[in-house]
Amino acid sequence: MNSHLTFHHFGLAVRRPAEARKFVARLDYVMGESVFDPAQNVHLQLCTHTAHPAVEIIWPGDTAGPVDKFVQRHASGIIYHLCYETDNLTAALAGLEAAGLRPMCVSPATPALLFEGRMVSFYNVVGIGLVEILAASH
């Protein structure tokens, strides 16, 4: 069965990125450029590895944003979301629903600065948590 979803990365929410960068650097990750996304009021940095899953380091902007409560409750950081890539968002969501899962949209598809304008949307999947879905292409 084709789920239309391929794992892309996990998002790690932290108060400050220095420790997370040290950790992934020690594991030989390649650090991408950090960007500030004003729409979400967060800083983002994608770290990639030839053998391990990609890690997106996420930390708050200067004012309130979506990760603030998480990093306040989890001072050492927390896996904030899982990201899957799809070539067909409608089919991917239908597949989740057909499996008895309930993806509830918390942020509709918008262009993502970190991914060269590719569309991303976020869903709270009941029983799973926050799932980001990234369009396979523009």
- Is 13 a member of any domain? yes
Element (H, E) at 106: strand 103-111
Confidence of residue 48 (pLDDT cuts 50, 70, 90): very high
- Is 1 a member of any domain? no
- The reported pLDDT for the residue numbered 138 is 66
CA 121 – CA 24 distance, rounded (Å):
26
- The reported pLDDT for the residue numbered 43 is 95
Number of domains in the chain: 1
- Is 71 a member of any domain? yes
CA 123 – CA 129 distance, rounded (Å):
8
- Is 44 a member of any domain? yes
- 18-41 pLDDT tens trace: 999 999 999 999 999 999 998 888
Global confidence as pTM: 0.92
- The reported pLDDT for the residue numbered 1 is 47
- Is 131 a member of any domain? yes
8-state DSSP, 118 = -
- Full domain range(s) for residue 36: 6-135
User: CATH number of the domain that 13 lies in?
Assistant: 3.10.180.10
Distances (CA, A) of 132 to 46, 92, 110, 112: 14, 12, 11, 11
Per the structure block, which two tokens stand in for 133? Answer: 């879905």
